[in-house]
Amino acid sequence: MSYMVKAFQGFVRSPLRTRKLSAKGFLIWIAATAFVQVIIAEMIQRGDFKSALVWIYSNLLVFLMNDFLAIVLLCFFLFLTGNLRLTVISSSVLLILLSLTNMVKKQFLGDPLFPWDFGRFDQVYNLLPKISGEVLPVLFFLGVMIIVLILAGVFFVPKYRLRLRTRMGVLAGVAILIPLLVFYRHTPLQTLFKMAEIEHIYWVQTQNSLQNGFLLGFMMNTEYIMVLKPAGYSEETISKITAEDKAGSSAAAAGVQDSGMKPDIVVILDESFWDPTRLPKVAFSEDPLPNFRELSNEGTSGEILSPVFGGSTANVEFEFLTGLSTNFLPQGAIAYQQYVTKSLPALPNLLQRYGYETTAIHPYHGWFYDRDKIYPLLGFQHFYSLEDFNGAKIDGEYIADIEVSKRIIQELQTADQPEFIFAVTMQNHGPYPADRYSDHTVSTSGSLTSEGKGILDTYAEGVRDADASLAYLTDYLRKSDRPTIVVYFGDHLPFLGKDYQVYKETGYITGNENEWSTGDTLKMKSVPLIIWSNDQQDTVETNANADTDTDTDTDTSSADAAKTIRSATDLGLISPSFLGAYLLKQLNYPGNTIFEYTGRMADVLPVYGKSVFVDQYGQTYDELPSSFQEAEKDYWLLEYDLLFGKQYSKK
């Protein structure tokens, strides 16, 4: 025993650990540490050592850029600690933590880690218990790695302390390098990147991270925390863009305010709502969406091209309610949390001018996505969140969809003026563990593993409940004497297992997002939509025509809307940022500047996506045609004006 103790003491006092380093040796340690850190980060991102080596061999210049960024990170920790050993340990722990977070986020949401994700700790904390089974092994691995790194640092990394003067010099170097790296597009580094054929693949961020490496891909997105003013932005430019919208809009708005009975408008954004029967090689014991299909045949049906997959519901809300597009914002950014800081001329604000009471409903925490702060800025007078659903039925893990339908009915029953109700459901939020529901009405069979079947069974049960809740609402509305229009659509396709598991098992798609064709993107981003009205056309028309002092077109707005929506039509595919303008048009309500503009744009380019575009003739493009680029520029100028500028267009 004494021999083992002496041996251990000798190891602890080994020359490797205690000998004094020369300046050259110190630099070698920094370079070697950065080299190993980048390899470990890429191993975690890619899943194995071989893939990391293949990437290095194929992208040597990109690897060297990642290595340089790792050295900059080490220099920052050198300034903080002044100690080589602490620098190696702390920077390695941080980089492994970030790499594991990047891996988990890609598995669950399809996007890599973004700089702006660090503003969402409250949501991560809230959602962590929902995915604890998947995350616990990662946390265990992280814990083991931290222990290994600490032991390795203590026993193998030599002592080396920097003098204060040297540390300040390191700080000066880092202070110069970091802005140059973050704003590289505006420095000579941009030319070097082009020479090295390093491209920021911002339109497919998963590919950006894989092609450019974790550190470089992350750094390339850092500038997008700030949104730069577009060229040509001025009050004069905005006035020219909006000139076409100003003529007659005030008089038309006054006509709407003075018109007769207006229909209630109920918009339901149903969590992860999609038609799972589209999956090939799968059979369902019964159709999970019979009511939705019936309503589709009665009213207007179509599809929304969602800007997101598997999460980030708030961005779909943002596009529909404001008419603005997240395509102009960094991929992965959440507009509510990062960019909405002042009142916007959104749909609720506009409908308030037309005499509507505006109400938002979401049976989850009001602070999630900052809805409690953002909804008032959009014009909602009331917001009912989780705290207002005391005693409500829980189905699975969340408030049941039927409770949302009941709350909508309650609001309509107590209303003494037209209602605009915007409801976001929660029951069918992913992930979808096989044991979420005790009983299953719908079961699946076909080309699925047992795990995949469990996921799809759970999802199908949730969709069935959503469909039944929609029927509960529309059955009430059929008997109501209040004319009501219902707009119902999903926010995004569901997250059916890591790495698109169910989609791949059934052959719906074969690759990951960076490998999708335009057709795959359309399949993985298109969600069902219906616009339906109850059977009160006669009541609407009678009331609308009662006021003979107002303009005829405005008087019959409710009746015309009911007739249009009740006729079975196919809207086709449309972007959510254009749907508000379409709804206003059906109601014969004039829009404000942004909705008038998006309405005109939707007439010729109904789908404006990040990497897919569809024109009025159904022609699909993976790049925006040159004929639409001027319209896109004006669209961005209007959006910048409202979100970041002086809101000239509101005047």
Q: What is the pLDDT of residue 543?
A: 36
- Band of residue 201 on the pLDDT scale cut at 50, 70, 90: confident
Q: Are strands 300-305 and 484-490 parallel, antiparallel or unpaired?
A: unpaired
> Which candidate, 633, 54, 16, 10, places its Cα nearest to that of 325?
633
Whether the pLDDT of residue 12 is over 70: the answer is no
- Only one residue has tokens 């905005």, namely 238
The rounded percent of the chain whose pLDDT value lies above 70 is 85
Between the alpha carbon of residue 323 and those of residues 115, 121, 608, the distances in Å are 26, 28, 12
- Alpha helices by DSSP H, listed for 247-346, are 249-258, 290-298, 313-322, 335-338
Question: Which of the residue ranges 121-135, 203-217, 260-274 would you say has the lowest mean pLDDT?
Answer: 121-135
> Which candidate, 230, 292, 325, 252, places its Cα nearest to that of 464?
292
Q: What is the pLDDT of residue 260?
A: 61
Q: Rounded distance, CA 422 to CA 408, Å? A: 9
Q: Is the pTM of this model over 0.85?
A: no
In 553-632, DSSP assigns E strands to: 569-574, 607-608, 613-614, 620-621
- Band of residue 499 on the pLDDT scale cut at 50, 70, 90: confident
What is the three-state SS of 158-178?
A: CCCECCHHHHHHHHHHHHHHH
C-alpha 497: how far from chain center: 18
Whether the pLDDT of residue 634 is over 60: the answer is yes
Q: Rounded distance, CA 184 to CA 188, Å? A: 7
Q: What is the pLDDT of residue 425?
A: 95
| pLDDT tens by residue, 525-583 | 999 999 999 864 443 333 334 333 434 343 444 444 444 444 558 889 999 999 999 99
C-alpha 614: how far from chain center: 21
Q: What is the DSSP letter of 324?
A: -
Q: Rounded distance, CA 411 to CA 540, Å? A: 20
Whether the pLDDT of residue 315 is over 60: the answer is yes
- Band of residue 7 on the pLDDT scale cut at 50, 70, 90: very low
> Which candidate, 617, 362, 621, 590, places its Cα nearest to that of 491?
362
Whether the pLDDT of residue 512 is over 80: the answer is no
| pLDDT tens by residue, 328-343 | 887 777 888 788 888 9
> Which candidate, 425, 553, 541, 444, places its Cα nearest to that of 492?
425
- Alpha helices by DSSP H, listed for 397-449, are 401-413
- Band of residue 439 on the pLDDT scale cut at 50, 70, 90: confident
> Which candidate, 553, 650, 624, places its Cα nearest to that of 259?
553
Residue 482 near residue 252 (C-beta atoms within 8 A): no
Q: What is the pLDDT of residue 67?
A: 94
Which residues are paired to 487 by β-bridges? 267, 531
The rounded percent of the chain whose pLDDT value lies above 90 is 40
The three-point CA angle 252-592-370 to 5° equals 140
Helices (H) and strands (E) in the chain, counts: 29, 15
Residue 224 structure tokens: 């997008």
Per the rule left: phi > 0, alpha: psi between -120 and 50, beta: everything else, 468 is alpha
Q: What is the pLDDT of residue 293?
A: 94
Q: Rounded distance, CA 24 to CA 642, Å? A: 55
> What structural domains and CATH numbers belong to the chain?
14-225 (no CATH), 263-650 (3.40.720.10)
Whether the pLDDT of residue 9 is over 50: the answer is no
What is the average per-residue pLDDT within 388-401?
90
